[in-house]
Amino acid sequence: MFERSLQYLQGFFGYPSYRKNQEPVVKSILKGDDTLAIMPTGGGKSICYQIPALCFDGITIVISPLISLMKDQVDSIIELGISAAFINSTLSQDELSSIIYRLSKGKIKILYVAPERLDSRDFLDATENLNISQIAIDEAHCVSQWGHDFRPSYKGISRFISKLPKRPVITAFTATATSVVQNDIINLLSLKSPNIFVTGFDRDNLLINCLKISNKMDYIKDYINANKNLSGIIYASTRKEVNKIYEYLKDVGISCGRYHAGLLEGERKQMQEDFVYDKINLIVATNAFGMGIDKSNVRYVIHYNMPKNIEGYYQEIGRAGRDGENSECILLFSPQDVSINKYLIEVGCQNDFTKKFEYEKLQYMVDFVHHNGCLRKYILTYFGEEPDFDSCNNCSSCLNEGTLRDKTIDAQKVLSCIYRMKKEFGTTMVVDVLRGSSQKKVLSNRFDSLSTYGIMKDYSKNDLVNFINTLVSHGFLSLKEGEFPVLKLNSLSGKVLKGEEKVILKEFKVSNKISSDNGLFDRLKVLRLILAKKNKIPPYFIFSDTTLKSMSISCPKTPNEMLQISGVGENKLKKYGDNFIKEISLYLDNENLRA
């Protein structure tokens, strides 16, 4: 069966072999074993259940929470020549009846459904007599209340499976899951002795930038103008921020869309379609709402506000570079972001236990922002990996050209001040003492009599807050989490105070331009857009940027040469091959590049 899967991989998807991390997952599923795969966004999860779906005799049901994404997923595999459909709340009764009829006649191989539909009597009746070979659960972390996007409807999946007359192979996929969430996925989905594949969270094609700048609007304006022909997403924490950024960009002449839950459904749908179909290159969206963009050529993701946890942040930057091409992820941090996220936690959490857990995750995110070492290593370590490098050479910290600075003395001043204050206080109070503030609370506690009072007047308030946060991030200082966190000394603090441990830090710099491509690549992109408009499909459905770049380098002149390009399968060759071969031939003739 595995050999047949390779034929489908080449014939439908145009790939001669699986990626290194896909093959063991596919083999596990083909053997009929329950399987949990934790793969990074853009790591090729969907192929891992779509190819087995083609190999199995019956139907595969894919459970996905992203209604806004379902149609794109289904349209993309129909474009490959695979029979597929979706069932969710956007369908009319006539559309639903048509799909149920096609199911009964065995004319659908892959069916995408929203988890809420699993409790529907109509859906249960429609699936009662189906030969279901596989149930694939996408975004499986949604079953866990400790995941970053918990959906109560996911709790009904195991109940639905238990009612089936014959238990199919159960497969679960997610991009972000800590060990706690992994255990929840196995238990709450009732996976039976599953094979577990953690294929690594690293996306080494993503440049990770974390920047502390004062004027975010000017930065994004300049950045977008420098990369105006590339697709990008700007995430913001609130609808108000999304609207503010959207209006600002329009005022300065930048075409963009916006997407958040406060818009009418028709406007949301139109904005997303315009972005997916490359009618606009940029969209501004709420990160809390979650957009579910399955668009392969997003070249940059900008976070206007800091997300409230690492899981959400890593999933959102995973929207960039899904085709494997180099892409950039920029987090623009300001101290106000912490307050916004604390407010969201206070409003969104139902009990103190959950609130405490969310504050802990927020602190990991704050530590990330202030981390002075490799940012990629920080993320991978958070997810339980043990990276074999200290520098990835592809994040703002590793790429910083500034010189390392010994900050041990300044660190000793901070730690000494905390020690002398005796009681536990937050960062603001410590900063006020170190800068010699005459605030009433400082004086009433007689902190003006401490030897450390005013000892760091040369620091601005923001710079000193950032410095203390950096000490926390690197473990030189501890923080007791909560709505009002307090600073605490630890064993490493003692080593710094005794001169047994040095504090070496460096500054960050900014990049502005992502990449440039040859002339043929630009012409092929134009051709792709023309064909996409003609066929009323998103451009990336035709060929990804990676495939076009391969064409622009190898310049295939015949159908057989075209089939050697990764991403060109038999079906796409029949539909589009001649158009691209002609365009390549014209380019070679015009540039006098014929061999």
pLDDT in tens, the chain (595 residues): 899 999 999 998 888 899 888 999 999 999 999 999 998 777 788 999 999 999 999 999 999 987 767 888 898 899 899 999 999 888 888 988 899 889 888 899 999 999 998 888 888 888 888 899 999 999 898 898 776 677 888 888 999 999 888 999 999 998 877 788 889 999 999 999 999 998 877 888 999 998 877 688 989 999 999 898 899 999 998 899 999 999 999 999 999 999 998 898 888 888 888 998 889 999 999 875 555 566 888 999 999 999 989 988 998 898 899 888 899 999 998 877 888 888 888 887 777 878 888 888 898 998 898 888 899 999 999 988 888 888 898 998 888 766 678 899 999 999 999 999 988 898 999 999 999 998 899 999 999 999 999 999 888 887 898 889 889 878 899 887 666 788 999 999 999 999 999 998 865 444 444 444 568 888 998 999 999 999 888 898 899 888 898 888 888 889 988 888 888 988 899 999 999 999 998 888 876 655 4
The model's pTM:
0.68
Q: What does the alpha-carbon distance between residue 64 and residue 116 come to, in Å, rounded to a whole number?
A: 10
Q: What is the DSSP string of 13-31?
A: I--SS--TTTHHHHHHHHT
Biggest alpha carbon–alpha carbon distance for the chain: 85
Beta carbons of 67 and 90 less than 8 angstroms apart: yes
Output the pLDDT for position 512.
47
Q: Rounded CA gap, 52 and 4, in Å? A: 10
d(CA 543, CA 243): 33
203, two tokens: 């996306």
Cβ atoms of 576 and 508 within 8 Å: the answer is no
pLDDT of residue 593: 58
**Domains of the chain, first to last:** 2-198 (3.40.50.300), 206-382 (3.40.50.300), 405-504 (1.10.10.10), 519-590 (1.10.150.80)
Other CB atoms closer than 10 Å to residue 392's CB: what's the count?
Answer: 20
Cross-strand partners of 457 = none
Instruction: State how far the Cα of 30 lies from the Cα of 49, in Å rounded to an integer.
Output: 10
Q: Is 386 left (phi over 0), alpha (psi -120 to 50) or beta?
A: beta
Q: How many residues does the chain have?
A: 595
SS3 451: coil
DSSP 369: H
CB 538 within 8 A of CB 72: yes
Q: Which of 280, 277, 279 is nearest to 295 (CA)?
A: 277
Amino acid at 4: R
Beta carbons within 8 Å of 101's beta carbon, 6+ residues apart? none
Side by side, the strands of the sheet bearing 169-174 are: 84-87, 110-113, 59-63, 132-137, 169-174, 35-38, 195-198
Phi, psi values for residue 566, rounded to 5°: -65, 125
| Residue 283 contacts residue 233 (beta carbons within 8 Å) | yes
Pairing of strands 478-480, 486-488: antiparallel
CA distances from 194 to 36, 37, 163, 320, 457 (A): 6, 10, 20, 30, 59
